[in-house]
A and B are shown apart, each in its own frame.
Chain A
C-alpha cells in the first residue's frame, strides 16, 4: 500500500500542490525536447535518404559550434561567421561524401554505421587539435539572441522562462517548417524523398546519388549548427556536448527511423517525460540521475508494442 502510494499517488499530489513548479518542469522538458528533436532530425534526414545511421551527428553539432566560436575569436564578425561556418559544414559534407560514403556504396548497414563512428573519432581528434579542449562561450549576444528572462506568476507561483530558450523553441519551429516545405515542395526535396523510397528507381529517373548525399549531409550540418548555437548558449561549447547525441537515439526509436514527424514528436515526448519522471519519481525514489536511461527504457517498452516505432514505416518481411 505504501509502495502504491509513493508510486502512484504522491507524485501526482506533488504536481497539484505546486502547479507553478510543474509548469517549470514541463517547460524545461519542452526545451530539452526541442533540442533532442533537432538532433534526431539530422539523423532521420540522413537515414531516410541513404539508410545510413549517422552516429556523427553529435560531433557535427560540437564541430559546427566550435567553428562558429573559433571564427569569431579569430576576429570574424558574428554575422559573417555564420555563413562561413555553413561553408565549412558544406566542405565537410563534400569531404565525407567523397572520402567515406562513395567507396562504401552498397555495403551493409552496420559497415556504414561503423564508418560514421570513424568519422566521429576523426572529428573529435581534429576538432581538439584545432580548437583546443577548453570550454568556450557561445557568442549569444553577437548573434542577437536575447538573454533576459520572463518571470511569470501562474497560480500565484513563479515560472521563469529564459528568452534564449524561447528563441530556441521558435527558431526550431521555423527551421522545421522550412525543412518540411523544402522536402515537400522543392524539386531537390522531392528527390531526397524519392531516394529514400527506392534507391534504384530514383537513380533510373536521373537523380544523382552523390549530389543528394552532399545535400543531405549539408542540411544535417545546418541543423547541427542550429543545435550547437542553442545548446551552446545554455551551457557553453565543449566536447562534453557530444554526449547529447546519445539522447537522440531513443527519440529515433520512439518516433521511427524514417519519420520527420516522429523525430519531432518523439523528441518532445521524451524531453518532457524524462524530466517529469526524474523530478517526481527518479529523485525521490531512485536516487536521481535517471535521465541517463529513462528515455531508452521508455522507448524500448514502446517498441515492444510497435517494433518500427510510433511513426516508422511498417516492416514487411518476405522470404
Chain B
C-alpha cells in the first residue's frame, strides 16, 4: 500500500488545487495585473522593468494610500515570456476582475489583441506590441504610449542620418534583430524607407537559440561591412551582440539599439569597450527626481523592493523606465476617476482614461517626474502619443543623454500604420471600428 499512500498525497494536492475558489478582491482597490517575465531567457531584461513597475505602485499605495483613496492592486502573473502561460495568466486575471492587461511579449499581445474587443479590457503595451495600434479607431482597446516601434525605427534612422534620410543614400544599414514577431516588427517600415531614400537594408536575423552565440551573424557583418548596425534585441541577445561587436571591433558609434537594447547590465559585461554604443530611449533616468526619491525612501529603504541594490539597479535606465510605465497607467486610472467621478473604476472607464492621458511638462513636474518622460497626450484616434525619444550613449559605466528629443517622421509612418490597421481589421472580420472618433 506504500504506493497508494504516495498516490493519495499526490492526488490530494491536485484535488485541493481544483477545489479552491478564486479570492475576491478587496472593496476599494483596482486590479492592475502585469504579465511579468522574471524567468526564462528574457528574464535579464524583464526583471528591472518589473521591479520599477512594482515599486512605483507600492510607493503610491504607501505615500498616498493609492489614488484618490483607492489602493492599486498591482499583481504579477509570471509568464516567462511564454505565450502559453500568457493565455493562462490572461484568463486568470480576467476572471479575477482585472481592468487592464499588460501583456509584455509581442506574441502574447497578438493573442490577446483580438480578444480585447470581446472581453472589453484595455491592453497597455508601453513602447512595444503592434505599431499599428497607434490607430485608436481600429484598435479601440489597445494602447502603446509613448512611442511605437515604427517611431523608434524612424528616430534611429533620423539620428544616424543627421536628420536627413537622404544622407544615407548608397549606404548599407544592417538590421540585427531577434527572429521573432518583436524583431520583425519594424521591417516593413525600414524596407519602405530604404526604397524611398536609396539605402541598402540588410536584415540579419538572430534565432532564439543563437542569442548567446552570434558569431555567424557578426561574421556576416564583418563581411558585408555595413555603415550602421541597428539592433532590435531583447533578453540574452543584447549581451551576446554587444560582446561580439566588441570582439569584431565594430565601431561602437555606428551601432544603435532600440529602447529594449539599452540594459545597463548588458553593457556592464563589456564595460569600457562598449563606449559609444547608443540606445534610443523614451525615458531618462533621474535618481534625484521627486518620485525616485520617494520610491527610495518609502519602498527601497524599508526593504520592500526586489531590486538588486549591489548592482546599482536603482540607477538603471530599465528600472526607472518601469517606474514610468506604472506612472502612465496610474495616470490613466486617475484621469478616469476624475472624469467619471468614480473611485473604483472599471475596465471601460480605464480605457477612457488611457485614451485621454495628458502628460505635459506641467503635469510631469507636478508628479515629480519632470524630464524623465517626454511630454505627450493620447486621444481616441491616437493611442500612442508619439512623444519622441532621446538617444542615450554608454560612457563605460552608465548611459548618458546624447541627443535632444528626437521625433519620428510622421509622414512616413502614418500611412503605413493606417494601412496595416485596415489590413488587420479586414483579416479579422467582423472587427468593430470606432466610428464616433474623428
* Chain A complexes with chain B: yes
Considering the complex, give the chain B residue whose CB is closest to the CB of A149: B247
Q: Mark B217-261, 1 if CB is under 8 A from A, else 0.
A: 101101100000000000110011001000111000000000000
Q: A134-B308, A160-B248, A160-B249 are in contact. Are A279 and B44 (CB under 8 A)?
A: no
Complex interface: stretch among B56-64, B201-209, B408-416:
B201-209
CB-based contact B236/A238 at 8 Å: yes
Contacting B43 at CB < 8 Å: which of A134, A231, A235, A282?
A134
Query: What are 11 inter-chain pairs, A to B, with CB distance below 8 A?
Result: A24-B219, A133-B40, A134-B44, A135-B269, A235-B236, A235-B239, A236-B269, A240-B235, A243-B209, A282-B216, A291-B207
Assembly CA distance A133 to B40 (angstroms) = 7
9 pairs of A and B residues whose beta carbons are closest in the complex: A133-B43, A240-B41, A240-B236, A135-B44, A235-B212, A289-B207, A28-B215, A278-B216, A243-B209
Beyond known contacts A135-B239, A238-B41, A288-B205: 8 more, CB 8 A cutoff: A25-B219, A160-B247, A235-B243, A236-B212, A236-B240, A240-B235, A288-B204, A291-B210
CB-based contact B40/A235 at 8 Å: no
Q: Is A197 on the interface with B (CB-CB < 8 A)?
A: no
Across-interface contacts of A137 in B (CB, < 8 A): 268-269
- Distance in Å: Cβ of A295 to nearest Cβ of chain B: 11
Across-interface contacts of B210 in A (CB, < 8 A): 289, 291-292
CB-based contact A275/B220 at 8 Å: no
- Distance in Å: Cβ of B247 to nearest Cβ of chain A: 6
Across-interface contacts of B434 in A (CB, < 8 A): none
Across-interface contacts of A288 in B (CB, < 8 A): 204-205, 216-217, 220
CB-based contact B41/A239 at 8 Å: yes
Across-interface contacts of B205 in A (CB, < 8 A): 287-289
- Distance in Å: Cβ of B371 to nearest Cβ of chain A: 28
CB-based contact B268/A240 at 8 Å: no
CB-based contact A292/B43 at 8 Å: no
- Distance in Å: Cβ of B181 to nearest Cβ of chain A: 15
Across-interface contacts of B47 in A (CB, < 8 A): 132-134
Q: Is A283 on the interface with B (CB-CB < 8 A)?
A: yes
CB-based contact A291/B268 at 8 Å: no
Assembly CA distance A200 to B169 (angstroms) = 74
CB-based contact A291/B216 at 8 Å: yes
CB-based contact B207/A235 at 8 Å: no
Across-interface contacts of B370 in A (CB, < 8 A): none
CB-based contact B308/A275 at 8 Å: no
Q: Is A50 on the interface with B (CB-CB < 8 A)?
A: no
Q: Is B383 on the interface with A (CB-CB < 8 A)?
A: no
Q: Is A241 on the interface with B (CB-CB < 8 A)?
A: yes
Q: Mark A236-266, 1 if CB is under 8 A from B, else 0.
A: 1011110110100000000000000000000
Chain B, interface size: which category? 35 or more
Chain A, interface size: which category? 35 or more
CB-based contact B220/A235 at 8 Å: no
Q: Is B25 on the interface with A (CB-CB < 8 A)?
A: no
Assembly CA distance A132 to B44 (angstroms) = 9
Across-interface contacts of B247 in A (CB, < 8 A): 149, 160, 162
Contacting B215 at CB < 8 Å: which of A239, A243, A275, A287?
A275
- A interface SS class: helix
Q: Is B297 on the interface with A (CB-CB < 8 A)?
A: no
Q: Is A21 on the interface with B (CB-CB < 8 A)?
A: yes
Q: Which of A272-290 contact B (CB under 8 A)?
A: 275, 278-279, 282-283, 287-289
- Distance in Å: Cβ of B37 to nearest Cβ of chain A: 9
Assembly CA distance A91 to B208 (angstroms) = 32
Considering the complex, give the chain B residue whose CB is closest to the CB of A24: B219
Assembly CA distance A128 to B216 (angstroms) = 29
Considering the complex, give the chain B residue whose CB is closest to the CB of A290: B216
CB-based contact B220/A239 at 8 Å: no
Contacting B223 at CB < 8 Å: which of A18, A235, A239?
A18
Across-interface contacts of B421 in A (CB, < 8 A): none
Considering the complex, give the chain B residue whose CB is closest to the CB of A28: B215
Q: Is B265 on the interface with A (CB-CB < 8 A)?
A: yes
Q: A134-B308, A292-B209 are in contact. Are A239 and B219 (CB under 8 A)?
A: no
Q: Which of A126-171 contact B (CB under 8 A)?
A: 128, 132-135, 137, 149, 160, 162
Q: Is A32 on the interface with B (CB-CB < 8 A)?
A: yes
- Distance in Å: Cβ of A78 to nearest Cβ of chain B: 17
Across-interface contacts of A132 in B (CB, < 8 A): 43, 47, 308
Contacting A235 at CB < 8 Å: which of B38, B240, B308?
B240
Q: Is B111 on the interface with A (CB-CB < 8 A)?
A: no
CB-based contact B216/A234 at 8 Å: no
Q: Which of A79-118 contact B (CB under 8 A)?
A: none
Assembly CA distance A288 to B219 (angstroms) = 12
Assembly CA distance A214 to B46 (angstroms) = 38
Considering the complex, give the chain B residue whose CB is closest to the CB of A124: B39
Considering the complex, give the chain A residue whose CB is closest to the CB of B216: A278
Across-interface contacts of B268 in A (CB, < 8 A): 137
Q: Which of B191-214 contact A (CB under 8 A)?
A: 204-213
Considering the complex, give the chain A residue whose CB is closest to the CB of B45: A135
Assembly CA distance A162 to B249 (angstroms) = 12
Assembly CA distance A18 to B179 (angstroms) = 29
CB-based contact B212/A283 at 8 Å: no
- Distance in Å: Cβ of B322 to nearest Cβ of chain A: 15
CB-based contact B215/A21 at 8 Å: no
Across-interface contacts of A31 in B (CB, < 8 A): 215
Q: Is B355 on the interface with A (CB-CB < 8 A)?
A: no
Assembly CA distance A32 to B244 (angstroms) = 14
Across-interface contacts of A291 in B (CB, < 8 A): 207, 210, 216
CB-based contact B222/A21 at 8 Å: yes
Q: Is B266 on the interface with A (CB-CB < 8 A)?
A: yes
Q: Which of B7-29 contact A (CB under 8 A)?
A: none
Assembly CA distance A133 to B37 (angstroms) = 10
Q: A18-B223, A235-B239, A278-B216 are in contact. Are A135 and B40 (CB under 8 A)?
A: no
Across-interface contacts of A289 in B (CB, < 8 A): 179, 205-207, 210
Across-interface contacts of A133 in B (CB, < 8 A): 38-40, 43-44, 46-47
CB-based contact A246/B44 at 8 Å: no
Q: Mark B167-182, 1 if CB is under 8 A from A, else 0.
A: 0000000000001000
Q: Mark B254-286, 1 if CB is under 8 A from A, else 0.
A: 000000000001101100000000000000000
